[in-house]
Structures are given as structure tokens and as C-alpha cells.
Structure 1
Amino acid sequence: MTGAHYIYILFIIVILITMIMKKDTVVPCVLGVFCLGLFYTNNIAGSLGAVFNSFIVSLGELGPVILIISIMVALSKALETNHAINYMIKPFSRFIKNPTTAFFVIGIAMMLLSWFFWPTPAVALVGAIFLPVAMRAGLPAIGVAMALNLFGHGLALSTDFVIQGAPAITAGAAGIEVFDVISQGMPLYWIMAVVTISVAFWGLRKDLKKGMFREELQDVEHEEIKEFNKNAKIATFLVLIGFILDIVAMSVFDLKGGDASALLGGTAVFLIIIINLMNHKKKCFDVTCENIIEGFVFGIKIFAAIIPIAAFFYMGEVAPITSVLGEVLPANSQGLLSDIGVALSNTIPLNRFAVCSIQTVVGAITGLDGSGFSGISLVGSLANVFGTAIDGSVGALCALGQIAGIWTGGGCLVPWGLISAAAICGVSPIELAKRNFKPIIIGFVVTTIAAMFII
């Protein structure tokens, strides 16, 4: 542990206190990067440059998400012209009758798609289709974002049963088979999911009964269009066929993550052009440009405050801090966040209670960078050490650390990790993170206690 590690810990505490006080965290994040720069460069000019360069790194990391969200919003603007959006979602109204059915239908659809294609491309598809009909059924935009987030970036990504990227990383680091992580951790996956989602929905229902979202819902629930022109029907057909073909291509060519998002985004761009050509003929060029501008204005508005926040936490990883400040980390360092997790694990005596608690805490700490995946190799390694030391289940310990890392950083707890769901629903990432905080912490506590008996 060096001075940089203690600076990083100090600013993590300051940021958490700032969030508890319900204040924006941009300023402490900027100051954190500046102080790290000052520690390593010993000059103010280099530290100021580090702040700007950390923003560039953050923008590079978040850029693909900003692009896909902006393009999907631009597509929705094109579809609004002749009410094609309304026509598109009409069939779903027969299944979604109230906030409860809306929340769980959206969640299950998101979970299934995320298992096969990962959450980032899935959230754009599911969010764009279900948001209007869910709000008309009485589920506010924040509720839609929670369903997308908890079922997709939480349940589906932390289990990753189909693609098996997450369990492959933890299993590889622990020296066991992927099947062992999935099978031994199965009770923990579902305990976390059921507890967290139940608590989150219960809290949302309480606020709905209090009428907290009445004004927001009144703005959308009375509009009903009974007749649609030919262009609306053709546009809906084109979007449906386009995205179905995308899903087939993702499966056939094994596209996931960024590649899947790229395919989805490219398809959306061409759909915008074709739909505007049908609707506006000679004005197609101008209207398409307007749609793209509207989409990017929306995307930048949502992400502007997230970029400097994420910049600080990206500095906890090896590649970003090296990109900003050069080769400043010791040769044996795994990054500031991972080093802090290892140091924590070495300060506490080992027993079932301590081991499970450490796995959850270390997993959550390494998830603070917003990726969810950068630290799960560390918890896999720790699971091997801890499981051997106490003669416990290495697979279950892997799953526990995996759950903590991904539910924290994969897109449910830290605001810079859940921006895709927040953006597609037009809600604040900070507000969504606050909504998720209590349910996820309760889920962590219950799952960790369960793990003490399971391992």
C-alpha cells in the first residue's frame, strides 16, 4: 500500500459521504483525480492535465454506451412522427395491465435477452419498446429503469448462465471448472435476486400508493390513438424485422457486448434514414440530421455529469491510470482498487463469517469502477485461498464475490455503471442508484449470511 492507495480510500469515503448527504459527487471526484496526479507528478501542471486526461479516458470507456443510447433515442424521435411508436407497443397492452405486471413482464423479457446477448444491447431494445406502455399501465419511468436494471445488469449478468463470461473469469482465477461456480453458487444467485428484486418492488409499490408519481403518470396515460396510417405500420414492420435479424445475427455470429451494440446501432441508423424517407421524402436529409442531434443532446445531457465521476473510479484500474499518468504503479500492483481489496483480505483472521464477509466487501469494492468484471478475477483468486484455508466450497465463494462485484459495478449500484437503463428511460442515474441502494445492500447481507451456511 502506497500513499496513492490511501488518497484513493480517503476520496472513496468522501464520495460515499457526499452521496449519503444527497449531493452531487463531481467535485470530490475531480479533486480525487487531482490529488492522485499531484502525488505521482509532484507538480500542479501535471495534476491539472491528469484531470482532463482522465475525462478523455472516461469518455472513451463510456463512448459506446453514449452512442447506442443516443442513436436509439434518435430512432424513437423518427418513429414519433407518425405515431409508429404507439402502434408498435399496442400489442403489449393486453399483457401489461397494471404496475405489477409491467414491472415483471419487462424484467423477465430483459433477463432472457440479457442471458443470450448481455444487458447493454438488450436494454436498448426492451426499454424502447416497453417504456410507453408500462407508463400507461401506471409504472413510472424510474420503475421501468429498475426492472431493466435489476433483472438485466443484476440477475442476468451476475449469473451469466448462457454466455458464461463471468463464471469463466472467476473459475479460471480459482483454478476450478465453470460448472462448479454455477452449480455450487446457484442458491446464492437466486437468494440475491429474489431478495433484492422483492425489496425494490415493495419500496416502489409503497411510493406508488402514496401518489409520488401521480403527476408524471398523468402526462402519459390518457393519449390513445385508434387509427394509424400505412407508413406507421410499415415503419413498425421494418423495425421489428431489423431487430429480429440482429438477434439472429448475434446468435449465428456469436456477437456480444460491444459487437452486439454496434450491430444494433448500425441497424438503427439505417432505420432512421428509411423511416424519414417514407415520412418526409425530400426533407429526409434535414429531418434525419435533426433526429440525430436530438438523440445526442439527450445522451450528452444524461452522461455529462457521469464522465467526471467515472473518471475517478477508472483511475483505480491499471490501464486507465497508466494511460493518464504513465507507469506509476509498482510492478506487482493489480490497480489501486484491487490492491486495496487484497490488503483488506490480509488484515482479518479467517473463518466462515470472515471469509464470506471479505468476499462480499472485496467484490463490492472492486466493482466501484463501474465495470463489474475488472475485479472478479481477484475474488476468484481469493476464493481459492479462502476455500482451501477453511475447507469450504471454492465454487460458492467464487459465486459470492462474483455477485458482489457485478451487482455493484455491472450496472445496479454505482451511478456510472447503470447509465444505459437510466438513459433509455430518461431518469437520473443518481436517482436510480439511490433506488437500488437499499434493496441491494439488504440482498448482500442476506446472501452473505446464507453463504456462511452453504460453504
Structure 2
Amino acid sequence: MNIVLTNLHFIYLIFIVVIIVAMIMKRDISLICIVGIFILGIVGTASVSKSLIGVFNSLVYATKELMPTIFIISIITAMSNVLVTSGINKEMVKPFGKIIKSPASAYWVIGIVMMALSWLFWPSPAVALIGALFLPIAKKVGLPAIGAAVAMNLFGHGIALSSDFIIQAAPKLTADAAGIPVSKVISASVPLTIVMGAVTTITAFYMLRKDMKRGKINTDFDLEDEANEESQMVIPQTFRKTLAAIIIAVFILDIFLMYTYKFQGGDATALIGGTAVFILSIISIIYYKKASLEKITDNIVAGLQFGFKIFGVVIPIAAFFYLGDSAFGEIFGNILPKHSQGIVNDLGVALSSIVPLNPFVASGTLTAVGAITGLDGSGFSGISLVGSIAHMFSISLGGGIDVLTALGQIAAIYVGGGTIIPWAVIPVAAICKVDAFELTKRNLIPVVIGLVVTTIFAVFLM
């Protein structure tokens, strides 16, 4: 691959370092990202006006990309508000109380169910379902919201999305780029997924329990809010139970429809969102009666306010990192070198071309390249690149292409898909009502340890 690095690449890399340092110092990075976009525009176009236009257009681009996620979070929040106010949510989570009796059981049950649903339909729709049903009962047994968020994140956006055994979108992209059958990538990823998943989830749980015992995490359930819910319940308990059963049945029907009609990704999320709108409307009519028309609007507006409040912080950050991929050409025009695959991918290729080759270095490089390409918060934008690099390395090594491809795929999606990029964890953070930066901070050590262990393990599989 004949990749030429320009000043744009180095400026982008410098700003990534500055952003990481600012995040470590727990400072807001929105201004840094906006300045980064402007400077990239100045260097690339040599025009102040075009750079200013590019700043605005990059924010618009990021908003468009995030809009489906903003809307599903907003709608689910609006629906949840009505279910809480009417008391139906309490009836929905009661059956899970028989299974979830402790913080440990809550963590593992939430994680395993999240993983299963994410394998079938990807994490986005699974986040909405799991969050609405499991978070209240998890908090009651002593698992804090951040614990539930970690479980949902690592099992869903980590294990399930990085392996993608059923939908197979990720392994197909990497396999095509590597020039091998999808089945070979999936077979090679099974042991790597098991090791990575076990290390990350067990490490995260150990750290969570340790902090809970030391009192560093608040595990109290808001009993005052619960009492307020009880005082507002005007729907008879028997009817609430019936409505709760119907709502659960409707979401199960959604799952059946996803499986039957192969709804995936955005379509699956849209199905959940559309269902939530109708549940919001019907329950509002039953509960608010004559005031339902106004209350439906009020709840939708409240949900949208919550969604944009959460994502308002993320949009400038996402705008900068989207420029690392195909968005750069759309915002500033075709000013990158002729054979450029995007700034982030170019940096990954450059890294792979300057390291000596042996199984240890090859595995470490694929992990590093995967992680770098995941910095745009997508995880999928760079997995074709890791497949291509795995193909190059395997020629020099005389084999190991399937293991290297699977390893790069896991690294890219764990980082960007995502568990340690703040703008990628927003759906889980929003549903669980925790700070996205706190969630990524809690995921960081388990994921880094997991990547190190999995990379070493991969060497012995080659």
C-alpha cells in the first residue's frame, strides 16, 4: 500500500494525543475538537471561510450520523417515564427478581442476556430493551447503574459485536479484505473471543466489587422516587400486570420479527423505537385519559430534551473523529493524497509498515492498528484495513492470516464499537443514566488487560 502521510495526518495525530491527555486530566474536550477541525480545514484548504464552513458542516454531519441513536434513546426514555409514572415498570421487573438476588447475579444475568440479544440483533436495540427491563431491579439488589452499564457494554458492544457470529457483518468485511472465507475468520475468533471476553468481564466485575466494598460507588436505591411512583398509581394492580405482560410480549414479538425478517442494525433499532412510540401512546391514553393528547407530546419533548442534552456534549467530539474516516472528503473536499483510505486508516497502514515482522510483533501490530482505527468511534470503519494488513503479514510469516484478521477485528470493535471511546458508549450511558466518560474510564483497564492477554494468546495460535 503506497500511503503518503501529509501535514493533515500529523496534525490529526497531535490532536488525538492532546485529547487523550485532556481526558486523563478530566477536562472537557469539545473546544479542543472544534479547534482541531478548524486547523485541519486551514491546513487542508488554505481558506478561513472554508474552514469555518467545515466546522459547522462537521457538526451537522456528526448530528446526522448520531440521529438514529439520539431518537431511540429519546423515545425509550419517554416510554420509560410513562411506565414509571403509571407503575407498570414495577410489574415488568418483578419476575426477574426471582433470578436476580444479588449484585453479582444482576451483573452476569444482564451481561449474558445482553450478549445473546446483541448476537441476534446487534447491541443498539438490545440496549433499549435491557436497560428498560433490568436496570430498576438491578439497582434494587445493590448493583449500581454504572455496574449495569459496564455489563451491557462489555458483553454487548465488546463480546457480541466484536465476534458477530450470527449476523456476520464484521467477519465478512475483514474476511473479504484478507481474501479468506468468512468461516475461517469466525473459527479463528472463537478462542480469541472467549479469552478476551473472560478477561474483560471478570476483571471489570472484580474492580466493581472492590470499589463497592470500599464505598467508592453509591449503591443506594432511590426509595423516595419509589414512594412517589406508588402514590401516583391509579391503574389497578391486576390491570397493570396485564399491561406489563402485553408490553413484554410485544417486545418478544419484535425479537421474533427481527429474526424472521432478518432485521438488523438500524432496522432492528427502528422496530424497537416504533414499538416504544405506540406503547407510550397507548399507556398515556389509559393513564392520563382526557389529558393524554397533551401528555404524549410532553413526554416526547421531555425524551428529546434528555436525548439532546446527553448528545450535545458528544457531537463536537464525534465531529472531529468522523473526520478521520470518509467524512473528511465530504466536509473539506478531496484534498487527501490520491490513495488515501482516510486519515485514521492511513496512520494504521503507516504503523504496520515500519515494524519488523515476527509472530509477536505481527500480533501486537494488528492489535495496535485495530485500536487506532477504532478511534473514530465506529469500530467498523477500519476492520477492512486490518484484514488487508493481516494478509500482508501472513505472506511474510507464512501463515496465521485467520488469527491475525480475527485479532485486529476484535481490537478495532472493542475500542471503537465501543467500550472505551466516550462517544461510542453513549447509548448505554444514556439508558443507564451514567456519565459516558466515567463508563469508558471503568472499561479502560479491563479492555487493555484483555487486549494484552488476547494478543499474547494469539501468538500461540499462529
Query: What is the CA distance between 1:220 and its match in structure 2?
Result: 4.3
Matches within 5 A, 1:249-264: 249-264=257-272
What SS is found at the alignment partner of 1:454?
coil
- The range that moved more, 285-294 or 19-28, is 19-28
Q: Give a deviation string over 1:273-303, Cα, whole Å, max 9, x none.
A: 1111111121111110111111111111111
The answer to whether structure 1 residue 297 and structure 2 residue 301 are counterparts is no
- Report what 2:404 is aligned to: 397
Q: 1 CA distance for matches of 2:111 and 2:422? A: 20
- Report what 2:89 is aligned to: 85
Q: How many residues align?
A: 453
- Report what 1:243 is aligned to: 251
What SS is found at the alignment partner of 2:380?
coil
The answer to whether structure 1 residue 204 and structure 2 residue 208 are counterparts is yes
Which amino acid in 1 is paired with 2:252?
Answer: I
Please tell me whether the aligned partners of residues 135 and 221 of structure 1 are also in contact (alpha carbons under 8 angstroms).
no
Q: 1 CA distance for matches of 2:140 and 2:285? A: 30
- Report what 1:377 is aligned to: 384
Q: 2 CA distance for matches of 1:210 and 1:219? A: 20
What SS is found at the alignment partner of 1:329?
coil
| TM-score when normalising by structure 1 | 0.97
1:69 to 64, 68, 73: 73
What SS is found at the alignment partner of 1:167?
helix
- Report what 2:314 is aligned to: 306
- Report what 1:119 is aligned to: 123
2:363 to 356, 366, 371: 356
Which amino acid in 1 is paired with 2:324?
Answer: G
Please tell me whether the aligned partners of residues 238 and 271 of structure 1 are also in contact (alpha carbons under 8 angstroms).
no
Q: Where in structure 1 are there 5+ consecutive unaligned residues?
A: none
Q: Give a deviation string over 1:200-220, Cα, whole Å, max 9, x none.
A: 111100111012233x51424
2:23 to 11, 19, 22: 19
Please tell me whether the aligned partners of residues 164 and 170 of structure 2 are also in contact (alpha carbons under 8 angstroms).
yes
Which amino acid in 2 is paired with 1:300?
Answer: F
- Report what 2:345 is aligned to: 338
Q: 2 CA distance for matches of 1:290 and 1:347? A: 57
The answer to whether structure 1 residue 322 and structure 2 residue 325 are counterparts is no
- The range that moved more, 117-126 or 274-283, is 274-283
The answer to whether structure 1 residue 280 and structure 2 residue 288 are counterparts is yes
| TM-score when normalising by structure 2 | 0.95
Q: Give a deviation string over 1:315-342, Cα, whole Å, max 9, x none.
A: 0012x11221112222211000000000
Query: What is the CA distance between 1:311 and its match in structure 2?
Result: 0.7
Please tell me whether the aligned partners of residues 92 and 133 of structure 2 are also in contact (alpha carbons under 8 angstroms).
yes
Please tell me whether the aligned partners of residues 118 and 157 of structure 1 are also in contact (alpha carbons under 8 angstroms).
yes
Q: 1 CA distance for matches of 2:353 and 2:36? A: 26
Query: What is the CA distance between 1:75 and its match in structure 2?
Result: 0.3
- Report what 2:46 is aligned to: 42
Q: 1:23 to 1:222 in 2, by over 3 A?
A: closer
Which amino acid in 1 is paired with 2:439?
Answer: L
Which amino acid in 1 is paired with 2:222?
Answer: D
- Report what 2:102 is aligned to: 98
Q: 2 CA distance for matches of 1:55 and 1:84? A: 39
Query: What is the CA distance between 1:237 and its match in structure 2?
Result: 2.8
- The range that moved more, 87-96 or 181-190, is 181-190
- Report what 1:185 is aligned to: 189
Please tell me whether the aligned partners of residues 136 and 220 of structure 1 are also in contact (alpha carbons under 8 angstroms).
no
Q: 2 CA distance for matches of 1:205 and 1:392? A: 42
Please tell me whether the aligned partners of residues 158 and 418 of structure 2 are also in contact (alpha carbons under 8 angstroms).
yes
Please tell me whether the aligned partners of residues 367 and 405 of structure 1 are also in contact (alpha carbons under 8 angstroms).
yes
Query: What is the CA distance between 1:223 and its match in structure 2?
Result: 4.3
Query: What is the CA distance between 1:99 and its match in structure 2?
Result: 0.6
Which amino acid in 2 is paired with 1:204?
Answer: L
2:222 to 201, 216, 219: 219
Query: What is the CA distance between 1:454 and its match in structure 2?
Result: 1.5
1:147 to 148, 151, 160: 151
Please tell me whether the aligned partners of residues 142 and 425 of structure 1 are also in contact (alpha carbons under 8 angstroms).
yes
Q: Give a deviation string over 1:382-437, Cα, whole Å, max 9, x none.
A: 11111121123111101100010000000201001111111100011111011101
Please tell me whether the aligned partners of residues 386 and 405 of structure 2 are also in contact (alpha carbons under 8 angstroms).
yes
Q: Where in structure 2 are there 5+ consecutive unaligned residues?
A: none
Please tell me whether the aligned partners of residues 135 and 220 of structure 1 are also in contact (alpha carbons under 8 angstroms).
no
- Report what 1:411 is aligned to: 418
- Report what 2:34 is aligned to: 30
Q: Give a deviation string over 1:41-83, Cα, whole Å, max 9, x none.
A: 2122221221111111110111100000110000001112221
Query: What is the CA distance between 1:267 and its match in structure 2?
Result: 1.0
Which amino acid in 2 is paired with 1:142?
Answer: I
Please tell me whether the aligned partners of residues 363 and 402 of structure 1 are also in contact (alpha carbons under 8 angstroms).
yes
Query: What is the CA distance between 1:233 and its match in structure 2?
Result: 2.5
- The range that moved more, 242-251 or 112-121, is 242-251
- Report what 1:9 is aligned to: 13
Which amino acid in 2 is paired with 1:141?
Answer: A
Please tell me whether the aligned partners of residues 163 and 189 of structure 2 are also in contact (alpha carbons under 8 angstroms).
no
Q: 2 CA distance for matches of 1:366 and 1:66? A: 24
What SS is found at the alignment partner of 1:81?
helix
1:454 to 421, 445, 461: 461
Q: 2 CA distance for matches of 1:397 and 1:221? A: 53
Which amino acid in 2 is paired with 1:184?
Answer: A
Q: Give a deviation string over 1:348-379, Cα, whole Å, max 9, x none.
A: 11111211111001000000111110100000
Q: 1 CA distance for matches of 2:418 and 2:247? A: 27
- The range that moved more, 236-245 or 221-230, is 221-230
- The range that moved more, 14-23 or 337-346, is 14-23
What SS is found at the alignment partner of 1:332?
coil
Please tell me whether the aligned partners of residues 75 and 269 of structure 1 are also in contact (alpha carbons under 8 angstroms).
yes
Q: 2 CA distance for matches of 1:258 and 1:184? A: 28
The answer to whether structure 1 residue 433 and structure 2 residue 440 are counterparts is yes
Q: 2 CA distance for matches of 1:327 and 1:348? A: 30
Q: 1:273 to 1:414 in 2, by over 3 A?
A: same
- Report what 1:133 is aligned to: 137
Please tell me whether the aligned partners of residues 348 and 373 of structure 2 are also in contact (alpha carbons under 8 angstroms).
yes
Q: 1 CA distance for matches of 2:100 and 2:216? A: 21
